[in-house]
Every structure is written in structure tokens, then in C-alpha cells.
């Protein structure tokens, strides 16, 4: 009917497009310094505004995590400080993690509801989905004037991890910015059986030999566990493989142990690689030898292995100084052995960030607040510990909770809030904790595809089916509960039938296009 009325069609199409974007943006956001490549900014710094010239504004901040006890008291005191520093009154709205936070932010963003700042990441309020759709303000042009300290405290490689077509749409939270799979060692059993546990990361065969030695303990203690099982599949074993995954089980070859490694950027199914088959066969041998806990695949056994203390090895994703805090908590010495060097990846650098919504009336002031949150110890410790003298005391410069009960403390989800290296040390923490964090982050190997994050639109159906297949096999394979010589080929075939080749081709196309921008 309208075949010849092309002008009407054009108008209608424009109206539909405008309506589709209304939920994300009310106007074009500030843009970055370029479309591809570049630093967090390539603009010269402008003069920061004078506080006395600023009007007072309200800033709404949605943050993941339950509201801690005493949050109202903290916010009142923080706002007194912010009023003096940047003329801001903060409205901090906590939201439980998981589906609650994602659902809430999706509703807020898609409806165009007003807010200024929200927590975003690769796993909550999905940054790589929302930012390209225009939900967040590009920060690059604003940073020199309204976030100059952010450019000093956040290094270029960290900015690169969240850059999309040359633009940064969020401020990364400084914490452990690299991923690392480690063997967690109960040292007393290593010493009892004469095991040089620091060498276990050199060769997995040394791990097998160590497990064989300590398994003699089972004769003395039937409840002794040489190695604790994976609770949720094989994420840490996957990290130890010489591949950089894009979407499991797909990735590219990368041996982070070899500084001279030259990646070919060819997307493969990691399940089909000899390294994975060899590792799963070894793990199967551990299971058959009885090294895992006997209630291996039984969920919710009620047993606390760590409190019991009669275990030798665990395998997990490292958090700097975890061995120190865990030893204090458990009352016996625990140490860690890296299985690879720590590495910075797109995932590790986008685990916690804060974005400014394009609906914000005050994006510059919101960025000024994020600048303080990540550079001013007063702001960060208000948000992190609450009010001194009310929620904690400073004793010799360190945080002491004294005899306060948990209900009297202000205890947020600390790592998600802002620059963690600004936090006061707890009274039982070592003086060099934050120096250790900086060294850990600064000495990490850099992923060859740092900053690449695929668009799942064209393969979403296939990936949904594959997730069910992954859940069917992964946990059992990585605990040696099924024979990989039988089940791994079966697993590979099911992935292929679910569209594995299509996913590989799509990821390869996207990766090749991304590489052209480097």
C-alpha cells in the first residue's frame, strides 16, 4: 500500500528508531577523542571548575550489594564532606547482587528512569551490552577536566580493557586486576611428607607425585582429603591452559609463560586441544586413585573442609594476600603456588566499574565524584568502613572494630566500591599489602586480545544451547568423575552439533575486524 510512498516510510522508520533509543538516552552523550585506538584521552587538560562557582546538585548512585548496617549514618557524614569538595549530595541506592541487580538496572535503563551513576561489569549490568547501545556516557573528553586524578591512578592497559571503539564508558575499580589460578596448599601436610610444594606449579606430574605421598594420611585419618573437588566446573583449570578464552570453550592460543609467544589469533574450540585432553586425563587418574574427597559429587554435604583442616590441596582463583588472610582465619598456615603467571584479560579488567548514565543531568559532577572516590582516601574510607568512632576506630593508623558486633559495623561489598588501594589497612593486615597489590597488577602478562569482547547477537541461540551442554559435562570432567577418553569426544560432538562451527566463524570475523583497529 505504501510501496511508492517512500518519504512516509522514511519518516516512520526514523520515529521507530528514535523510540527504540529513548530508553537508553535522552541526548547524545559526550564523545571520546577518537573512534579507534588512542588513550583514555588525547585532549589537553582543562581547568577544573572552582567549587565556589558550582551549584549544589543531587547525584543518584546505584551500587551492587545489600545496604550495610549504618549506611544512612555514613551517607550523612560523607555528604557533608562532598558538599565542601564538589557541591554534591549523594543518594546511594544499594541493590542486592545477582538477578535482582540486573533486573533492576535493566528496567531503569530501558525505561529511561533517571540516575547518574551505576555499577557495571562483564557480569552485572552488562557493560559490553549496555555501553554500545548508548546507555552510558563516553568519558574520554571529560576526563582531563573533571577526572584528572583518574588518569593518574588508572593505567592505560586497564583503560584499554574496557575500551569500545576507542571510547571508555566506565571507570574501572582498582582491585586485583589480573587473574591467576593457584594451588592452595595446607602447609603442615607438605612438611609432614617432605614435599617441596613451591615447585608444584612447575610440572603437573609433581602434583601427582605429591598427591600420592600425602594419600598415605588416609590410613591415619579416613576423613583426610588429598585434593578438594571443584565446586563449579573447571574455571581454574581452564585458566591454567595455554589459551585465552573468548567465550568458553572457544578461544585463541596464548602461552602466558612464554614472553616471546606469537599468537596466531585463530579461534579454536579449546575442548579439541591436546593440552586440555592431557589435563583431564591426569585429573581422571587422581579421581581413580582416590585423591578427591569421597563425597565428591554429593552437593551440600554440610562438611566444612577448611575448618576441619584435614586436606592438602585446593585449586582456585587467586586474590592477592588470600594466603595471609586465610591462614589468619583458619588458624593454620596456608600458602599458594601459581600455575601460570598472573594475566590481565578483558574479563579481569572489567569485573567492577562505574558508569554515568546518559540520562544524567550532571555527568560532569558525577565524574568529579568518581574522581574523588578513586583518589581521595577520605571519600573511599567513608564508603568502605563508615564513620570513624561510630563503625570503627583508627588505632596506629589501622582499622580496629574493637568489641563492636557485626550489627554495629558498616560492612559493604568492599571490592566493588572504588579504588581499593586507598583503604586503611585492617589491624591484622601487613604494611606492604597495597604495594603487593600494585606489584601483582603491574607485573601481569597482557592478553593478546585485551579489550576484545564479542557481540553475541548473531550466536545467542547457539550459545544458550551450549550452556546447557557445558553444565552437563564440565563439573564431572574437571573432577575426574567421568572418563574423558569416552566423554570428551561426546562433549565435543554435542558442541559441534549445537553450532560450534558457526560460533567459531562469527568470533573469528569479529576478532579479525577488531584486530584491524589495533
CA 314 – CA 228 distance, rounded (Å): 5
pLDDT of residue 17: 34
- Contacts of residue 197, Cβ cutoff 8 Å, sequence gap at least 6: 183, 185, 187, 190, 210, 335, 337
Q: Which residues pair with 183 in a beta bridge?
A: 315, 337
Distance of CA 122 to the CA centre of its chain: 7
User: Cell 550489627 appears where?
Assistant: 407
- Using DSSP bridges, classify how beta strands 393-395 and 243-247 pair: parallel, antiparallel or unpaired: unpaired
Supply 336's cell numbers: 599458594
- Tens digit of pLDDT for each residue in 436-458? 999 999 999 999 999 999 999 99
User: Cell 541461540 appears where?
Assistant: 461
Q: Domains of the chain: which residue ranges?
A: 7-176+349-383
pLDDT of residue 399: 96
CA 401 – CA 385 distance, rounded (Å): 10
Q: What is the homologous superfamily of the domain 7-176+349-383 according to CATH?
A: Periplasmic binding protein-like II (3.40.190.10)
| Among candidate residues 374, 347, 336, the one with its CA nearest the CA of residue 184 | 336
For the chain, residues with pLDDT lower than 70 are 1-45, 230-236, 294-303
> Computed from CA positions of residues 190, 196, 200, 203, in that sequence, does the dihedral angle turn out positive or negative?
negative
Residue 212, number of CB atoms within 10 A of its CB: 14
Helices (H), 197-342: 204-214, 217-220, 235-240, 274-288, 305-308, 322-330
| Among candidate residues 148, 187, 146, 157, the one with its CA nearest the CA of residue 39 | 157
CA 368 – CA 59 distance, rounded (Å): 11
Helix (H) or strand (E) holding 344: strand 343-344
pLDDT of residue 342: 93
- Using DSSP bridges, classify how beta strands 311-317 and 225-227 pair: parallel, antiparallel or unpaired: parallel
Amino acid at each position: 500500500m505504501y510501496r511508492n510512498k517512500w518519504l512516509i516510510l522514511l519518516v516512520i522508520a526514523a520515529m521507530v528508531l528514535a523510540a527504540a533509543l529513548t530508553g537508553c538516552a535522552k541526548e547524545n552523550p559526550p564523545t571520546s577523542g577518537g573512534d579507534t585506538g588512542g588513550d583514555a584521552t588525547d585532549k589537553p587538560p582543562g581547568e577544573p571548575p572552582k567549587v565556589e562557582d558550582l551549584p549544589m546538585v543531587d547525584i543518584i548512585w546505584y551500587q551492587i550489594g545489600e545496604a550495610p548496617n549504618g549506611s544512612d549514618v555514613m551517607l550523612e557524614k560523607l555528604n557533608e564532606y562532598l558538599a565542601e569538595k564538589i557541591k554534591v549530595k549523594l543518594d546511594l541506592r544499594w541493590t542486592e547482587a545477582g538477578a535482582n541487580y540486573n533486573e533492576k538496572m535493566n528496567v531503569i535503563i530501558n525505561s529511561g528512569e533517571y540516575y547518574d551513576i551505576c555499577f557495571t561489569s562483564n557480569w552485572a549490568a552488562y557493560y559490553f551490552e549496555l555501553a554500545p547501545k548508548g546507555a552510558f556516557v563516553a568519558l574520554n573528553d571529560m576526563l582531563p577536566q573533571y577526572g584528572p586524578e583518574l588518569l593518574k591512578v588508572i593505567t592505560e592497559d586497564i583503560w584499554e580493557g574496557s575500551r569500545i571503539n576507542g571510547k571508555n564508558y566506565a571507570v574501572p575499580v582498582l582491585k586485583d586486576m589480573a587473574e591467576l589460578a593457584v594451588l592452595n596448599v595446607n602447609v603442615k601436610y607438605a612438611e609432614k611428607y617432605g614435599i617441596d610444594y613451591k615447585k608444584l606449579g612447575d610440572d603437573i606430574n609433581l602434583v601427582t607425585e605429591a598427591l600420592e605421598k600425602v594419600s598415605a594420611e588416609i590410613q591415619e585419618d579416613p576423613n583426610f582429603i588429598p585434593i578438594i573437588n571443584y565446586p563449579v566446573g573447571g574455571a581454574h583449570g581452564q585458566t591454567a591452559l595455554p589459551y585465552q578464552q573468548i567465550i568458553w570453550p572457544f578461544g585463541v592460543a596464548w602461552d602466558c609463560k612464554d614472553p616471546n609467544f606469537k599468537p596466531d589469533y585463530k579461534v579454536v574450540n579449546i575442548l579439541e586441544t591436546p593440552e586440555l585432553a592431557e589435563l583431564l586425563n591426569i585429573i581422571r587418574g587422581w579421581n581413580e586413585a582416590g585423591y578427591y574427597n569421597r563425597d565428591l559429587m554429593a552437593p551440600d554435604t554440610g562438611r566444612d573442609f577448611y575448618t576441619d583442616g584435614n586436606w592438602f590441596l585446593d585449586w582456585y582463583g587467586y586474590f592477592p594476600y588470600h594466603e595471609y588472610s586465610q591462614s589468619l582465619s583458619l588458624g593454620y598456615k596456608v600458602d599458594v603456588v601459581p600455575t601460570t603467571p598472573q594475566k590481565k584479560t578483558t574479563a579481569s579488567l572489567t569485573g567492577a566499574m562505574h558508569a554515568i548514565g546518559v540520562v544524567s543531568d550532571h555527568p560532569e559532577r558525577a565524574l568529579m565524584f568518581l574522581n574523588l572516590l578513586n583518589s581521595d582516601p577520605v571519600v573511599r574510607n567513608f564508603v568502605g568502613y563508615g564513620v570513624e568512632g561510630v563503625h570503627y576506630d583508627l588505632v596506629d593508623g589501622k582499622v580496629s572494630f574493637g568489641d563492636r558486633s557485626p550489627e554495629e559495623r558498616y560492612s559493604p561489598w568492599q571490592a566493588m566500591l572504588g579504588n581499593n588501594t586507598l583503604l586503611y589497612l585492617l589491624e591484622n593486615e601487613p604494611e606492604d599489602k597495597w604495594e603487593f597489590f600494585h606489584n601483582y597488577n603491574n607485573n601481569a602478562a597482557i592478553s593478546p586480545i585485551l579489550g576484545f569482547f564479542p557481540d553475541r547477537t548473531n550466536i545467542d541461540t547457539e550459545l544458550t544451547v551450549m550452556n546447557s551442554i557445558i553444565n552437563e559435562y564440565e563439573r564431572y570432567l574437571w573432577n575426574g568423575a567421568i572418563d574423558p577418553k569416552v566423554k570428551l569426544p561426546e562433549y565435543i560432538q554435542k558442541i559441534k552439533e549445537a553450532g560450534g562451527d558457526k560460533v567459531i566463524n562469527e568470533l573469528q570475523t569479529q576478532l579479525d575486524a577488531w584486530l584491524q583497529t589495533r
